Amino acid sequence: MDTKENGENINAVSKAGNLSAGNNSHNLANHTCEGCGRSDLAEQERRRLRALEVVAQLSVIGALLCFIGVGVTYWVGGQNQFLGGFLAAGLALLGIGVIVIGKYFMPQGPFVEQRHEISSTVQQKQLFEEALVERGGSAFKRRKFLGVLMGASATMFGITFAFPWIRSLGPLPGKTLFQTWWRPGSRVVTVHGRPVKVDDLEVGGILTVFPEGHAGSSMSQTILIRAASLPITTRKGRETWSPHGYLGFSKICTHAGCPVGLYEEQSQQLLCPCHQSIFDVLDGAVPVFGPAPRPLPQLPLGVDEEGYLRARSDFLEPVGPGFWERTTA
């Protein structure tokens, strides 16, 4: 681009809207400062712009070096801090350069543009209505029944086509939420499938257990606590549920379903790590604090002649958080 063209361009722009970089200084000069002459101001402005130019240049050079740094760091192994550090510094320096140019070397205005009317005129509205209703509806004007039929078939398409989008997504709940894999006589096993014997836990010990054959099952997970060496009656009717002081509670919180794995041995409480519901172990894991609404269901336990812990039955109520059908079964 030669200088002649350049000059013409600026000229053209100025004519069209006073778009020149000098606008900024013009504004400053407008504001009179007593005691300093016009030429002083111009000199100050010139020096200011020069300094800013240097800042922009240095930033962009810095950015270039940083991006080379990104490449080198990547090549030698891509250590996260150096890779990201160079990237961030490079982008920031480039950003600073661009912002300096935009903020100090480009026309700043203020410029103004007029808004347009948003609402249509009365005539435009009438024309719109005419096209929509008269022209568009002419075919159906005396064929109302056809319109109804078309609407009906479109609706039917919408409904039937939605079937797979809803029903095929998953199985019906059925009784899934009402039962676990615990059966009368199920041996109590660890997560590795090792059966638990009656002297495996010391008093004050805990273990996450499952019914035999279902180690790792989400619904059947149970927290086994040995709260004492003798049977504990947590509730009336549960006299035989805790041989040798072993208590089994569903590990699924009745609030939001998190595993209640936090056992406080001294205060005999179970705490849910998600929302801090607290259950009183010796009182049948009734919630004493926090948002959980119901006790953790207790698993009736027994010991066979070989000394293995066994479940007497499944939990007597659905485990886990509440749901709509919970009380209907």
DSSP 201-257: S-TTEEEEEEETT-TT-TTT-EEEEE--SS----STT-TTS-GGGEEEEESB-TTT-
Q: How many other β-carbons are positioned within 10 Å of the β-carbon of residue 27? A: 12
Report 251-290 residues binding other proteins (CB under 8 A). 251, 255-259, 261-267, 269, 271, 273-278, 287, 289-290
80's tokens? 């996260």
Q: Does 300 bind other proteins (CB under 8 A)?
A: no
For the CB of residue 187, give the shortest distance to other proteins in the complex, in Å.
Answer: 16
Instruction: Give the residue, chosen from 107, 195, 243, 245, that forms a contact with other proteins under the rule CB under 8 A.
Output: 107
Q: Does 89 bind other proteins (CB under 8 A)?
A: yes
For the CB of residue 139, give the shortest distance to other proteins in the complex, in Å.
Answer: 31
From 70-78, 132-140, 150-158, 238-246, span contacting other proteins (CB under 8 A): 70-78
Q: Taking CB under 8 A as the rule, which mask of x and - marks residues 4-33 in contact with other proteins?
A: -x--xx------xxxx------xxx-xx-x
- 221 close to 250: Cβ distance less than 8 angstroms: yes
Q: Which residue has the tokens 């009182």?
A: 283
Of the candidates 42, 43, 90, the residue with the CA atom closest to the CA atom of residue 70: 90
112: exposed, middle or buried (C-beta count within 10 Å: 0-12, 13-18, 19+)?
A: exposed
Q: Does 202 bind other proteins (CB under 8 A)?
A: yes
Virtual torsion, Cα 207, 209, 212, 217, nearest 10 deg:
-150
From 91-99, 129-137, 144-152, 302-310, span contacting other proteins (CB under 8 A): 91-99
For other proteins (CB under 8 A), the number of binding residues is 122
Instruction: Give the residue, chosen from 7, 22, 71, 102, that forms a contact with other proteins under the rule CB under 8 A.
Output: 102
Q: Does 301 bind other proteins (CB under 8 A)?
A: no
Report 222-251 residues binding other proteins (CB under 8 A). 225, 251
CB proximity list for 109: less than 8 A, separation 6 or greater: 23
Report 125-164 residues binding other proteins (CB under 8 A). none
For the CB of residue 297, give the shortest distance to other proteins in the complex, in Å.
Answer: 14
Q: Does 52 bind other proteins (CB under 8 A)?
A: yes
> From CA 6, how far away is CA 82, in angstroms rounded?
43
84's tokens? 């990201």
From 1-9, 132-140, 233-241, 296-304, span contacting other proteins (CB under 8 A): 1-9
Instruction: Give the residue, chosen from 218, 229, 233, 240, that forms a contact with other proteins under the rule CB under 8 A.
Output: 218
Q: Does 42 bind other proteins (CB under 8 A)?
A: no
- 261 close to 251: Cβ distance less than 8 angstroms: yes
